[in-house]
Every structure is written in structure tokens, then in C-alpha cells.
Amino acid sequence: MSNFHRLLVALIWADCILLASSQKGSTFAGSTSTAVFPPPNATFTAADAFFPDGSIVGFPGPTATGDEAEAAATAPALAQVDSIFPLVRPDASNAKSQKFDVTQHWGSLTPFQSVESFGLPNTSPIIPNGCEIVQVHLLHRHGARYPTSDAVAPAFAATLHTAATGAGFTASGSLKFLNTWTFKLGAETLTPFGRSQMFNLGVGFRVRYGELLKRFQDLPVFRTTSEARMLDSALHFAAGFFGVQSYQQDYHQYIMIEQSGFNNTLAPYDQCANANNNVSAFGGIQGNKWAAIYLQPALKRLGPLLKGLELKVSDLIAMQQLCAYETVALGFSNFCGVFTEDEWKGFEYLVDLEFWYANGPGNPATSAQGIGYVQELVSRLTQTRITEFATTVNGTIVSSNVTFPLNQSIFVDVSHDTVMSTIYVAMNFTSMAANGPLPTDHIPKDQTYFVNQIAPFASNLVGQVLSCPASGKPTHIRWVLNDAVLPLTGIKGCKQNKDGLCELPTFIDAMKQRIQEVDFAFDCFGNYTVPVPDTIVDGQFPKNLRKRN
């Protein structure tokens, strides 16, 4: 047989295979692919004669260290987080300019970048002139993660794979990549990028506030919860803050059990019934109303590109989530370029709606969830033990100076996006809720509640306790969220201040009043439904309606 005939036969066989594949459908599209590292047969021992530890090898060279940094007090300006390296920045399908950044429209799936302002545009996180910093309270979210096990993204992959194994499935146009797309994401745990976020956050925090370490008489105690991504985040933060060679000896990491049945202020939803029922589901209900509107153009445009699978609005939401999840996990995603700029703005607002009505000012059970952390904050600020335990505060933990010290100059707590959003409500950061209840049929022009600014991956809230004028005695406090100073005028007694300062006794009294205002038992366990129309803006069930429910 000549070479020509061999080539002809090969081409005929290839056509037959492709024809059979198109008739039977693809068994590849939407399938799940995984990898395991280290390899299953690899072995590791802490003490290995072939690979001794650096302390055994010796010869470290000069090891003198310098003084602690305190850039927040000494620098003329602080470096801003404005990069998502090494992720590839995606473009929308109709990208009009380089100014539109898709990654900043992912809501709670957005990688943290510095926020310009929350209403104090000329204010800097640099310590004001004449003041000195005496203490900091850091509450931060974990880094970028894979989707949760019950997320719509893996469900879409399963739906696609089922359709692809049937007859007649094809994807074309902007969805052509689905013919060979596989689901490569894990579940719940940090991605490599998420680990880098936490390490960098720790390094940045040391540069800004390292001077405060000189005030310690004992090792610091930092807190996190027991979930894998939470502990991983805490350890990577500590490695960045203390250094990878010594961090495990430089502080104590307290791990609070995150599970139903255990009080935990960093995961309060486990001990709040209305955080796990129809009350919390109200956010999804409100969000679905908007999704049915903003995704209609995408449904009409993309639906005809798939044969053998009828796209639904929920599938499109999953695809938009996959853009975010794949980017923060794999560095790039083909799903990003499928949607227009307006559809990405719509997705951002979808997350805003879901948070507002499920975990933010518009849900009646949110202040109750966040108030436990406020109690702990007041305890730390006043160095007074908590004696009443009617919220999610864990009495065993906070009663001990070993597990809950009160005299630290640096406090670090790791939590979740939905928890941080409830704490903002409990603390009465009203500037976020200034625009009132969010409409479900359009994006308001005066919107002030943006989840990508208040609860992105690696979101961080810093309470700066200051001495003004500098005397070493704490006199004032202010709060910096993702590098932007928060106005505190919604907190009772806190006056308008260009630097966002509030007198410390005034702030403490206001927080004590908030603790008394919140009816934890009713808001978390009361048998009620969310009022319609929902006009709640303080995260509490309206007191004038309680007798009728």
C-alpha cells in the first residue's frame, strides 16, 4: 500500500471516529479530573539522614536582625494591594477598554485589592500626625479557595457531563471549549493563590505593625477555626508575619472547633437556627429575582450554542462562578470571556443582593450572629472578662487568660466572608447601608454596599487603637477595612472626623449599647419570616412586629 493510500485510510478512520463520537456524545466534556501530590507512594520522615534540617547542617552565615518596622506610623504613604499576580486578568466578551477589570466584579469571590474609600476619600490608613499606635485588632477572611461542596459550579459540571454522554451533544461559538472542558477544582480548601494571599497579608501586617511586638511579655495568641482552609490561612499568615523558620515557636495558634454544637464567634451560624433556614435563604430568593433579569440576554445568546443541553439561568450563574473559581485556582478560565461587561456588573450585584438579604443589613438574624465578636472586642479593649454567655461566645475559651489573653498589643482572628459581614452590621458600620434596602429589579445609582469591597478573598479589618496626642495611653480608635478608613458616624457618640477617629470610651460605650440592643435569642431562634417588603437596615427583626410573630 502506498503512503497516499495509508494516509487516505487514516483519514477515513478518523472521520468514522469523529462521526461516532458526535452521534454518541462526548464522554469528556464536564468530567472531573484530579491530581494528587505528593505521590501516594512517596515517604517523608521528619528526621532523614539524607536531608538534615538546617539547624543540623549549620553554617548559617551572619544572622543579625534589624529593628521592627512600623510603616503605618512612619511611612508617608502605605503601599496598596493592586495586583492579582500570578493570575491572568480576564476580559469580558465585549471588552470596551482596559479599565474594566472582570476580577473586581466577582463579589465575595473577588481577590482582595485595596479599596479607595468608604466615604472618607482624603483619609489614609497612616497613623494621624501627633498620634501613636498602641494596639491593633485584625479580623481577616481566609484566602482564595475552591468552591464549597454544595456550590452550583460542581453541579453544573455534573449536568454538563451527563448531557455530553448522551447523543447529539455539541458546543459551538464562545462555548466551543466545553467540548473538551473538564472540572479540575477541588472543594473547600485554599488554592495556591489563596495561600500566597495569606502569606503576603502576614508580611504586610508585620511591615505595618511589627513595632507592637516589642510590647509583648509573652507569646501572642492568634485565633482561627478548625476548617482546613481556615487553619491553612492562619498558618500561612503566621509564616508571613513571623517567618517560615520560626513562626511555630513565635506564637500560639488557638483553633476553635467549627461545628454545630460548639459556640464559636468566628463561625456563629452553627449556633443560630435562623442562619440555616428560610430566614437565611431569603438572600437567595432576592438574588434569583435579579438573576432572571440580568441574565436574559446571555440566555438568548448562549442557549443556541449548546445542542443536547438546555441552559438555565442557574447554569449561567454557575458559569460565572466558574470564571472566578478557575481563575483563582488554575490561573485562567475560558468562562470569563463568555459574558459581557454588563453581565459581569449584573453578577456583582447578584452577590451584593444575596449578602444584603442573607448576611448583611437586610437580614433580621445578622446582628445576633456578629454580636459575640463585639462582646469579645469590648472585653479586649477594657481588659474585662465576659461574665454573661447568652450569644455565641464560648465561655470556656474566654474565661481563660491562656486561651483568651486580654493584654496583647496585637490580636488576630481568622473568619469567613459571611461572618465578617454580620460583624460589620453588629458594630453598626452604617456607611455601608446608607443606600437602604437594595432593589431586585435594577442596580441603584447610589449603591454603597459592595461585597467585593467588604468581603473579598483575604478581606481584612484592622482596628487601630491610638494615643492622641501620643502619651502611651489609649484614647481613640478607628477602623480600616481593606486599606480604606471607615467613617464611624453611625456609632452612637462618634463625631464626624476627617481621620475616622472616635474617642475610645465613646466607642466602647456604643458597643456595650449594641450588645444590649441585640435580642440574640429571638433573632436567632424566633419563629418568624422576613417582613415583606423588607425594610430592615440594622440586621435585627423589627421590634414593633415581634408581638405579632
Of 339, 354, 369, the residue at which a domain comes to its end is: 354
For residues 314 and 434, state if they share a domain. no
Q: How confident is the model at residue 9 (pLDDT cuts 50, 70, 90)?
A: very low
**Domain-located, residue 486:** yes
185-215: pLDDT as tens digits: 999 999 999 999 999 999 999 999 999 999 9
Q: Which residues contact 410 (CB under 8 A, 6 or more apart)?
A: 135, 136, 138, 209, 212, 213, 216, 220
Helix (H) or strand (E) holding 255, with range, is strand 252-256
Report the pLDDT averaged over residues 515-523: 97
**Domain-located, residue 14:** yes
Q: How confident is the model at residue 27 (pLDDT cuts 50, 70, 90)?
A: low
Of 318, 339, 354, the residue at which a domain comes to its end is: 354
For residues 373 and 393, state if they share a domain. yes
- pLDDT for 7 beyond 50: no
**Domain-located, residue 54:** no
Report the pLDDT averaged over residues 118-123: 92
CA 536, CA 527: separation in Å to the nearest integer?
A: 17
Q: How many CA atoms lie within 13 A of 147 on its CB side?
A: 23
Report the pLDDT averaged over residues 232-236: 98
- Closest C-alpha to 350, from 389, 397, 318: 318
3-class SS shares of the chain: helix, strand, coil, % to 5: 45, 10, 50
Angle between helices 228-242 and 192-209 (to 10 degrees): 40
**Domain-located, residue 58:** no
Q: How confident is the model at residue 19 (pLDDT cuts 50, 70, 90)?
A: very low
441-463: pLDDT as tens digits: 999 999 999 999 999 999 999 99
Domain that residue 109 falls in: 1-33+88-113+148-184+293-354
406-441: pLDDT as tens digits: 999 999 999 999 999 999 999 999 999 998 899 999
- pLDDT for 540 beyond 70: yes
- Model pLDDT, residue 185: 96
- Closest C-alpha to 523, from 547, 545, 539: 539
CA angle 403, 405, 410 (to 5 degrees): 115
**Domain-located, residue 134:** no
Q: Which residues contact 278 (CB under 8 A, 6 or more apart)?
A: 529
- pLDDT for 392 beyond 50: yes
Taking a C-beta distance cutoff of 8 angstroms, is the pair 340, 93 a contact? Answer: yes
All 3 cell numbers of residue 405?
A: 489573653
Q: Tell the residue number behind the cell numbers 421590634, with chain if given.
A: 543
- Model pLDDT, residue 246: 86
Q: Tell the residue number behind the cell numbers 437586610, with chain if given.
A: 362
- pLDDT for 65 beyond 90: no
CA 108, CA 546: separation in Å to the nearest integer?
A: 32
For residues 417 and 498, state if they share a domain. yes
Report the pLDDT averaged over residues 220-230: 98
- pLDDT for 21 beyond 60: no
For residues 401 and 493, state if they share a domain. yes
All 3 cell numbers of residue 429?
A: 458600620
Calculate the alpha carbon distances from 118 to 3, 93, 359, 431, 479 in Å: 72, 30, 19, 7, 11
- Model pLDDT, residue 25: 42
- Model pLDDT, residue 460: 98
For residues 94 and 164, state if they share a domain. yes
* Mean pLDDT computed over every residue of the chain: 92
Calculate the alpha carbon distances from 549 to 103, 130, 278, 523 in Å: 43, 53, 15, 12
- pLDDT for 182 beyond 60: yes
For residues 425 and 490, state if they share a domain. yes
For residues 94 and 239, state if they share a domain. no
| Helices within 50-95 (DSSP H only) | 54-57, 71-74
Q: How confident is the model at residue 290 (pLDDT cuts 50, 70, 90)?
A: very high
Query: What is Dmax (Cα atoms) for the chain?
Result: 96
Of 319, 354, 389, the residue at which a domain comes to its end is: 354
CATH of residue 537: 3.40.50.1240
**Domain-located, residue 140:** no
Report how far Cα 4 is from the mean position of its chain's Cα atoms: 60
For residues 373 and 505, state if they share a domain. yes
Taking a C-beta distance cutoff of 8 angstroms, is the pair 434, 447 a contact? Answer: no
Helix (H) or strand (E) holding 282, with range, is helix 282-294
**Domain-located, residue 142:** no
| Helices within 331-475 (DSSP H only) | 341-358, 366-382, 395-398, 417-426, 451-454
CA 451, CA 457: separation in Å to the nearest integer?
A: 10
For residues 346 and 304, state if they share a domain. yes
- Model pLDDT, residue 12: 32
For residues 417 and 484, state if they share a domain. yes
- pLDDT for 8 beyond 60: no
Q: Which residue(s) pair with 135 in the sheet? A: 465
For residues 195 and 205, state if they share a domain. yes
Full 3-state SS string of 189-233: CECHHHHHHHHHHHHHHHHHHHHHHHHCCCCCEEEEECCHHHHHH
Number of domains present in the structure of the chain: 2
**Domain-located, residue 494:** yes
Report the pLDDT averaged over residues 483-488: 97
For residues 383 and 491, state if they share a domain. yes
Quickly list DSSP for 488-526: -TTSTTPPP-TT--EEHHHHHHHHHHHHHH--HHHHHH-
- pLDDT for 181 beyond 50: yes
- pLDDT for 476 beyond 60: yes
355-386: pLDDT as tens digits: 999 999 999 999 999 999 999 999 999 999 99
Angle between helices 341-358 and 417-426 (to 10 degrees): 60
Q: How confident is the model at residue 547 (pLDDT cuts 50, 70, 90)?
A: low
